[in-house]
Structures are given as structure tokens and as C-alpha cells.
Structure 1
Amino acid sequence: MKEAKQALTPRWGAKKFLLLIGSIVVVVAVALTFYVSGGAKERQNTQGTSTFKVEQGPLAISVAQSGTIQSLDQVVIKNEVEGRTTILYLVREGTRVNKGDLLIELDASRLNDDMVDQQIRMINAEAAYIRARENLEVVRNQAQSETERAELDAQFAAEDLKKYVDGDFPKDLMSAEARITINREELRRAEEKLEWSRVLFEEKYISQTELQADELAAQRAQLDLDLALAELKLLQDFTYRRKLDELRSQENQTAMALERVRRKATADVIQTEAELRARESEFQREQGRVVKLEQQIAKTRIYAPNDGLVVYATSTQANFRGNAEPLAEGQEIRERQELIYLPAPGSVKAEIKVHESNLEKVRVGMPVRITVNALPGRVFQGRVTNIAPLPDAVSVWLNPDLKVYNTDIHIEGDAEGLRTGMSCRAEIMVAEYPEALYVPVQAVTRIDGMPTVYVRQGANFGPRQVEVGLDNNRMVHVLGGLEVGEAVLLTPPLESTRGRVTGQNGARAAHPQRGGRG
């Protein structure tokens, strides 16, 4: 019996394998048959597919975006302390403050240390400035004294030259000539006396000694005359020229010395004045740094410039990297960082970001309906007041493919209950038509670049080109090509959907012509 079961087992396994193969073949055949018949039915018979009958009635074209309520006029409190600093005290958000109330106190310990060092540098700079100022007076006085002495030397040298030429030399010349005249007269007398002495000696009236005395006197007179003549020649040929050259050279040397003294005095004064200006500039710079540090220390205590409600900047917007860490004591903040908003009571606005696909629909002055999450059931009216010319930089940085434009909406009428930072939703009313033909946006596709819908034609649907206007991301305004009550296919055939265009907030069959006809 056991052997019979072992013989039957392989045959039973083969049957199971054949049955499995047969089942797979049947399933594949059925699937192919269903695909072929189903594809033909999709192209030829669309009974059972979703359709929409063209309707006519009121149609509102609007652009809806979420945003934030902001004060139309608010004071922005920023950190004006250079570098990074820490918050020591922070007023509680939502507090109503009066002008002059303390809002924020920052850590000033580093600035106080810097102030001590800077005051020391300023005192040293002031001492150097005073020393340079007094030194300038000393240099000026010394320069004046040396200049006056050099001028006096030059004056004396010129006077000595004139004195010698016009006084000393003529006097010496006259004296030499006078001596010659006297010596000649003495020589004449001595010679006459010698002649008489010789006559008297021959006649034995005088002695030999007396004759020799007269001869010696005549010789002495001759020598004195020769000496006087030699002195005159020396005076005229050598002494005068040498003295004249010496005095002229002295005059030139004193004149050049005077020029040197004047130039040196000028240079010394200019250099000392430059040093004084440098010391003065350095002192003023150090003094300015002290003043700046005093201002920086004063800015560590931030007071309310006017009455208002305290709103933290971090509560209304995230920073550039999307970090929404709330403002708190002990937090380190950077220079120029926005800290607190003090919105002025009264008028408010809504800030939204409009996607680039809706940008050309929106115009300044368009009416807007605003709803606020915190105030359900209330609808506020407003108008578009400003559209940014360039995309929002933060959004571009976070997502380069996302281009949105900051748009301001002024809220008109009663704005009671609205506070800065509240979330809102703004619906910009682009156009309103009391009677318009419209179909869902997903019913419109593009074939060869032309807006097209599939309209019921008996049991089937056929393509028909239409003219469309604006859409509100749900319904598109049909300007021509359809009639009221005609059934259009909501899901165009697969081969035609390659040309479909999708909008920002959902399917969008046809991109309306920019600023298209309404």
C-alpha cells in the first residue's frame, strides 16, 4: 500500500502543475480581451463615465491665499548693539506699555570692560596730544629765535662789508698815504740837516759823533719812508683784496645760513604741526570710541518709543532659515535683529504671498474678502495696496522652484478685534460675472495648444475647441464654443491629457489668457 502511494505522488504533482499553467493562460487571455474591449469602449462608448452639464449663472473669479494680520503702521524695535549679545530682561509679550517703559535689557558686561580699556587709551592719547601742542609752541619759539639770530648775522656781514669798503679801507689808505707824506718830509729834513752837518764838520764846528747822529737820522727817515711805501702797496695789492673777498664770502655764507635756518624752522614747525594733528586725530578717534561705547552701553537698555502692545518679532515671522525659536531671556541675538513690534492702534493690513501663476490676475485696488481664524463668522473687507516687484527672497532660498510675491491688503472699515500676528485667509476678487457659462477646470484640456473639451455626441464624446477666460481653480469661464446644458466629459481620454495643464491648487485644464477676457 505504501509503495502504491509513492507511485501515485509524482503523477498527482504533474497534474497540479498542468492545472496551474492552464489557469495562468486563461487569466492572461481574459485580461487581454478586457483590455482590448475596454480600450475600444473608452474611445467609442463612454457610458458610465463622469460628466458635467454646462451651467450658466453667477461666477466669481478669485485668488485665495493664507496670510497674517499686521499693523499698517508699527514701530520696529531692533537690536542696535554691535556683534552678538544676550538678553537679560524681556518684557512679556502682549503687555501694553507706555512711552519710556523698559522693553529689553541686554548684557553690557563686555561693553563695560571695553569702556575701561578705551578710557585708558583715550587718556594716553589726550596726554600725547597736549605734549604735541606744547612742543609746537616750543618749536615755533626756537625757530623764531634761530631765524632772528641768523638774520642779525647776515645783517652784520653785509654791514661789515659796506663798512670796510666805504670806511675802513679808505681810512687805512689815507693813513698809509699820510705816513708816507710825513716820512718824506722827515727824510727831506734829515737830508738837509745832514748836509749842513757835513759842512759844519768840515769847518770843525761839530764833532764826528754829531755828524754820525745826523747820518743815522737820515737813514732812519729813509727806512721809514720805504716802510710806509711798502705798507701802502701791501694794503692796495693784498690786504684790501683779501679782506674784501673775506667779507663778501662772509656775507654770502650768512645769507645762505639764514636761508637754511628759515627752511629748517619752517620744516620743524610743519613737522610738529603734522604731529600735533596726528595726535589730535588719534585723541578724537579714541574719544569717539568712548562716545560710541557709551552709546552702545545705552542701547543695551531699550525703552518704548511710544505707547503700544508688545508683539515679539518671532511670533509673526520665522527667520531666514525657518527657525521659529521664540524670543526669550538668555537668548543670544545678533546686530540689527528685529525684536519687538509696537503696532499703532487703528488701521491694520493683511500680508499674503501670491503665487506667480496668479500674479497677472491680481492688480492693485482689487477688492478682498478676509476671514480670520480667531474670529469665526466675521468677514472683513479690504483692497490690494501693494504687490512686490520681485519674488520673496526667503521663499526662493527655501525652495528655488517656488516663486511667491509679497502682497499687502489694507483692511477697510471696522477692524476691531484684529491683532498683529493673527492668521487669516484673503480672497482677492479678480472678477465677478452675474451670468456666465462655466465648466470644471479638469474638463478642459489642450490639444495642439488649443483649449478643448469632450462634448457628448449621441452615445460617444467628441473633442470641441472652446474659448476660455479666467478660472478660480474650480470653474473656468467659457467664452464660446459651448451651450447651456451640453454634457462635457470630466475625465478626457488618456491620449489627450498629455496636453493638460495643472494649476497651483488643483487640476487646471486651460491656462486662461493673461489678463484674459472676462
Structure 2
Amino acid sequence: MNRPGSNLESSSEPMFHQVAEGPFDHIVLEQGEIESSSNNEVKCEVKGRGGSGTPILSVIPEGTLVKKGETLCQLDSSALDQDAKNQRIIVSSAESAVISAEAAVNKAVIARREYLEGTFLTERNAIVSEIAVAQQALRKAELSLESAERLAAKGTLKPLQIEAEQFSVENAKSNLESALGRLKVLDELTKAKMLVQFDADIETTRAKLESDKNTLGEEKNKLQEIQAQTKACTILAPADGQVVYANKSSGRGGGDFIVEAGALVREQQTIFLLPDPTRMQVKAKINESRISLIREGMPVKIRVNASEYELLGRVIKVNKYAEPGNWWGSNVKEYATFIQIVEPPESIRTGMTAEVRIFVEQIDKALQIPVHAVYETKRHHFVLIREGEKWDTREIKIGATNDKFVTVKEGIEP
């Protein structure tokens, strides 16, 4: 049996293969990259200013093993430091406003009390005294009038003297009525009017105090937010792990992000990954022509390029949708396939390249020939058979295939 497409007349040394049965492994061979299925994403919590990001001042080297709480990165906090300084001044002004408003409330309350217990009582007592004096004057005038009337009856007083006494009585009555009227106005109107004004002053000052307190609270919250943002400029490790940069390449040159001093990071942008070393996996991209062969649970042998030993794994996920292609790439689709590494050693690291051999099918006894011995045309497969000195072209039906051998279902025998 010779290689397909070879020229028997020009080839002086054709290659032959003895058809035989034996164990057959249908393998899909691909390259992949080691990653962790569980990553602590370390993100930028600092808000951008004016639509731009925050510059990185310093960053820990990639690959460093860190403990929880260690510093990973320092972002530029100079603008936030200035904001905090300005905000402290605003908070101090707001605190002064609250103090003034509290004093105004106390002053309004005291003014009301001062009126009720001081000014009002003083005015009322004065009017009450006037009433007492007016009542006494009225009684005195009435007694004087009665005496004058008795004397007039005896003819000892003139009518003009009687009229004078009568005028004194009327004047005393008028003074008493005036005092009583002023007391009534004070008790029923003036007091009520003044209390309404005092109560309004108290409510106004209390409302201003409440407003100033709210303003102070808002300004303090702003200061706390700025301080929290400043604190967030020092990025700490949330857990133990090995530092992996969350570099991104768009493939077009305009959207690349490289973790380094001077790079700008946006709010909620991932800067680092701290992978869980006990949950390592390989992400391999399978060509669309072979993705239909891959199923979850298939066994896998993994060889890490940085080591000489093989690791065991199994397929745990096959993406249903193709990976985004590069703008310069072909139209061939690739599908991400994830292979769990069984008992991953401590020596493997995220980002390492790995060769994966996915065992699609394992047959204990199968008739198989080299893939180079098969010639395909119009979806039919043929091989050359040598019988003695004669050559015969024979059509076969093939089964599973790998990179080296193809199984034969019909057409030839061992």
C-alpha cells in the first residue's frame, strides 16, 4: 500500500504498511493556555475624572506570590488629596453654619420665654395696677359725688360744684374702662400675635438648622467618599495567590491595556487576577471542523510545555458559540473548550502553554491504516493494495481517525 497521490512510475521506493488490527485512540490534538476556573478579580474602585482613567504609579511584578492584604498596586491619588483638602474646608464651613443655626434656635426659644415670663407679665401687671388705681379713683369720685349731692340738697353747694363731681366720676369710669380694654387686648390679641411671631421664628430657625445639618451630612459624606476613593488608590490583595496581570489586546492596537506604571485604569476595570491554584484548567480553541467530536466528560492528557510530565484531565465545558476572531484572521471559527486538570501540581502557572490530547474514542481492537495511505475523491476513499506483483485500487469505508491512523470499517481485511 503506497501513499495517496504518489506516482508509482516515478517513485523508486514506495512506502508500504501491513494492514493489522490493534488498539486505536481517536485523539483531537490542540494547544491551549492554562488558567484557573476560579479567579479573584482585583478591580479598580476609583472613579474616573472627566471621562479619563486613573494613572498607575507603581505595580507589583507579575508572577509574585502574595498574601492577603499585601499591596498590589498604587494609583495616583494627588487629585483626590486636593479634593479632600477642599472638602474639609467646605465641611468646616457647614459645621459653622450648624452652630450658628443652633444658636438662632436657642435665641428664638429664649425670646419667646422672655416675652411670656418677662415683657408680657410686666405689661400686664402695669395695666392691672392701673385698673386698681382707676377703681379706687372711681370709688373716691362716687363718694365725693354722693357727699356733694347731700350738701346740694341742703342748699350749701352750687350746681357747678355738683357738675364738677359728676365729671370726676365719669373721668374715673373712662380711665377704668380704658385700662380694662388694654388688659383685654393684651390677653386676647397682643399676646397671641406675639406668640405667633415667636413660634414662627422658632420654626424658621429650626428649619434652617435642619437644612444646615443635612448640608453638613452631605458634605461629610462627600469627604468620606473622597477618603474612601483615596484609600482605594492603594490596591490590596483580597486573598493569597500569584499575581497575574489582566492585560488585554484588541488586536487592532487601539484598545490594548497593559498593566504597567503610567497606564490609565477605569472604574471597575480588572487589573489583576489571583487564580485559585487548586482549580486549574486548560482553555483550548477547537477548530470548527472537529468541535462536533468533543463532548463533556471526555478524558484528556495534558502536557505542559514547561515540564516533561503528563497531567490527566477531562472536558468540562464546550462553548456553543465561536470565539471572536481577529480582524486580520481567516473565516475559520474556533470554539473554546475547557479541560479540568486533575490534581494540578504547584509548579504550573496561569498563562503557561499546554498541549491537550482529547480522547474522542478508544477502541481496543480496530483495523487501521496510516492516514497518508488513503486517497479521497468526491467523498469516496481509496487505497492501493499490492498482491504479489499486481496493484489494485480498492474503495474502503473509514471510521474514526486521528492525526496518524484511520480505522477501516469495510473494504480490506488484515
Task: Give the TM-score taking structure 2 as reference length.
Answer: 0.65
Contact 1:87 1:105 in 2 (8 A): yes
Measure the CA separation in 2 of the matches of 1:306 and 1:415.
20
The corresponding residue for 2:47 is 82
Q: Residue 344 of structure 1: CA displacement?
A: 4.0
Aligned length: 378
1:351 aligns with 2:277: no
Measure the CA separation in 1 of the matches of 2:349 and 2:56.
26
Structure with more relative contact order (C-alpha pairs < 8 Å, separation 6 or more): 2
Structure 1 residue aligned with 2:189, among 252, 256, 268?
A: 256
The corresponding residue for 1:485 is 411
**Cα deviations across residues 156-198 of structure 1 (Å, max 9, x unaligned)?**
699699x68xx966983x65654454233213333xxxxxxxx
Structure 1 residue aligned with 2:244, among 274, 298, 311?
A: 311
Q: Residue 303 of structure 1: CA displacement?
A: 4.2
Measure the CA separation in 1 of the matches of 2:113 and 2:259.
69
Say which is worse superposed, 415-424 or 362-371, in terms of deviation. 362-371
Name the SS for the 1:184 alignment partner: helix
1:273 aligns with 2:201: no
1:417 aligns with 2:347: yes
The corresponding residue for 1:383 is 314
The corresponding residue for 1:329 is 261
Measure the CA separation in 2 of the matches of 1:328 and 1:144.
69
Q: Residue 333 of structure 1: CA displacement?
A: 3.1
Contact 2:246 2:272 in 1 (8 A): yes
**Cα deviations across residues 391-427 of structure 1 (Å, max 9, x unaligned)?**
76x669999x998776543211343532100123445
CA distance 1:134–1:65, change in 2 (3 Å): farther
**Cα deviations across residues 43-74 of structure 1 (Å, max 9, x unaligned)?**
xxxxxxxxxxxx99977677666432113444
1:300 aligns with 2:233: yes
Measure the CA separation in 2 of the matches of 1:253 and 1:157.
11
Amino acid across the alignment from 2:78: S
Contact 1:347 1:415 in 2 (8 A): no
Which residues of structure 1 form unaligned runs of 5+? 1-54, 191-216, 446-451, 456-460, 487-518
Amino acid across the alignment from 2:208: E
**Cα deviations across residues 313-336 of structure 1 (Å, max 9, x unaligned)?**
22xx53596755643333333333
Say which is worse superposed, 277-286 or 248-257, in terms of deviation. 248-257
Which residues of structure 2 form unaligned runs of 5+? 1-19, 383-393
Name the SS for the 1:330 alignment partner: coil
CA distance 1:414–1:155, change in 2 (3 Å): same
Contact 1:176 1:231 in 2 (8 A): yes
CA distance 1:59–1:184, change in 2 (3 Å): same
Name the SS for the 2:46 alignment partner: coil
CA distance 1:76–1:154, change in 2 (3 Å): same
Structure 2 residue aligned with 1:187, among 142, 152, 155?
A: 152
The corresponding residue for 2:5 is none
**Cα deviations across residues 354-383 of structure 1 (Å, max 9, x unaligned)?**
68888887665444443434446x443223
Name the SS for the 2:62 alignment partner: coil
Amino acid across the alignment from 1:117: N
Measure the CA separation in 2 of the matches of 1:126 and 1:384.
64
1:68 aligns with 2:33: yes
Q: Residue 98 of structure 1: CA displacement?
A: 4.6
Name the SS for the 1:290 alignment partner: helix
1:81-100 matched pairs, under 5 angstroms? 81-83=46-48, 84-99=53-68
The corresponding residue for 1:17 is none
Structure 2 residue aligned with 1:291, among 219, 224, 240?
A: 224
Contact 2:280 2:344 in 1 (8 A): no
1:338 aligns with 2:303: no
Measure the CA separation in 1 of the matches of 2:251 and 2:114.
71
1:407-486 matched pairs, under 5 angstroms? 408-426=338-356, 428-429=358-359, 484-485=410-411
The corresponding residue for 1:496 is none
Q: Equivalent pairs: percent with the same residue?
A: 27
Measure the CA separation in 1 of the matches of 2:321 and 2:182.
85
RMSD of aligned Cα (Å): 5.4
CA distance 1:86–1:235, change in 2 (3 Å): closer
Contact 1:144 1:265 in 2 (8 A): no
Contact 2:304 2:355 in 1 (8 A): yes
The corresponding residue for 1:30 is none
CA distance 1:181–1:328, change in 2 (3 Å): closer
Name the SS for the 2:56 alignment partner: strand
Measure the CA separation in 1 of the matches of 2:82 and 2:205.
35
Contact 1:150 1:257 in 2 (8 A): no
Name the SS for the 1:145 alignment partner: helix
CA distance 1:341–1:169, change in 2 (3 Å): same
Name the SS for the 1:260 alignment partner: helix
Name the SS for the 1:117 alignment partner: helix
The corresponding residue for 2:15 is none
Amino acid across the alignment from 1:313: A
Contact 2:124 2:186 in 1 (8 A): no
Larger Rg: 1
Measure the CA separation in 1 of the matches of 2:319 and 2:199.
64
Measure the CA separation in 2 of the matches of 1:189 and 1:454.
167
Contact 2:127 2:182 in 1 (8 A): no
